[in-house]
Amino acid sequence: MRPVQSLLKRREAAKEPYLPAPHAPLLTPRSSSRQEQSPFFRLPLDLRYLILRDAFGGRTIHVDFRFRPPLYTSDTGGGLKAYHGGYPPLVTVDTRLDRPTKPHGAGAWRWYSCVCHRNVPPGMRGSAFEFSASWDKCLSGAGFHCHSWPGTLPNKCMLGMMGFLLTCKQGYEDAMYVIYSTNALYLEALPLIDGLLRQSALPGSPRVSGLDTRHLTSLVMIWDFVLFGSFYPSTVLDRRHFAERLDLIPRALPKLTRLQVLMGSDIYVEDSSPANNMEEVEKVLLRPFLEARTKMEHVAEFIVTIPAGVFLAMMSIPGTHVLGQDVPGKKRKGIGALHIRYPFTEKKHTQTSTELDLWYGMEGDRHWNNPLTMMSRFSTVGIFGASAA
């Protein structure tokens, strides 16, 4: 009985926790506070906004919530050197190095956040080139340009605003509004993504967080599940959840101006080539995305990043125009900026509310989504000789 009881306890612990009651609505121009006589809070609202935006805004912030053990430390990691953000939740200890790791606690639902350092700070040398979101490995400890940002590890990788949030209600409301409206949130954990979408779009839904997505203007999400896998029992359920997320986004994110969804490398695990299954890819993946996009006219930039294998199959469709590596008005992103327009067209124009931008994703450890494998299979496309937009 003990193994069964232990299993039941672990399952019960892994259930996602919910907040007991909704939080108060965010930001009003003024609210009663004991700090109202503070010189800072007596400043005009627009001036306080500019100060807080300079201190805490204009960044990409990773927010993570998943069932996991505690973070590694230099003690539990067997001398593992601190990475970007210290020891982020997806850092793993390489056992091949014979590090004497120690147990570091039982699994529980835990939060983590850090500032994204995959690119150099704006205005610094090298900022003309930008790694696209599909390259991001901050939660694995690989902030590619962490060394370029001022400060010392790991503090410089954190937003560093907890002290201000705890000053008073007015400080909390002002700062949280700046976080939501001036930063891009990068979410990877599906339980957090689903919870936020439901609590914001469906009245009465359980709340996983006090985060209020109604004020978000820029969002990056990773959706990692199987949509094309005849032998995977989860495919039917994954397709249903995919459709649900697309339906919730317009209601949960009314102020969004930029949205990027990165489809994970497990999206396509069929035995047949994506090029031979493009009709189903359009039906299950592209048309639902396009329908959701038409409901979000307020979103100026809607990007869907597709794993390499599926993307290169789309590139091979006759008549499809490949937009090149240099995007007018934007930074150079190298091969990560290759993209095509859906519905597939040869036209070159600014994206409209009835079109999708499909970007090349470098991720891929499955057979059809491995970049090197697919480049060889679709070498006739001329991926490195694509014309610039």
Q: Could you list the pLDDT tens digit for every one of the 389 residues in the chain?
A: 444 444 444 444 556 676 655 555 444 455 455 566 788 888 888 898 999 999 899 999 999 999 998 988 878 877 777 788 888 999 877 655 666 676 677 889 999 999 999 988 877 776 667 788 888 999 998 888 888 888 888 889 998 888 888 888 888 888 888 988 999 999 999 999 999 999 989 988 888 887 777 789 999 999 999 999 877 888 899 999 999 999 999 999 999 999 999 998 888 888 888 888 999 999 999 999 999 999 998 899 899 999 888 888 888 887 777 775 544 444 445 445 678 888 876 555 566 667 888 888 765 444 444 444 444 333 333 333 333 33
Q: Please report, for residues 10, 11, 148, the alpha-carbon distance to residue 7 in angstroms, rounded to integers and kept in the order given.
A: 5, 6, 46
d(CA 389, CA 346): 11
* pLDDT score at 368: 47
Q: Which residue, among 242, 248, 252, 164, has the nearest Cα to 215 in the 3D structure?
A: 252
d(CA 14, CA 375): 40
* pLDDT score at 291: 93
* pLDDT score at 11: 47
**Domain residue spans in the chain?**
35-385
Question: Pairing relation of β-strands 301-307 and 218-223?
Answer: unpaired
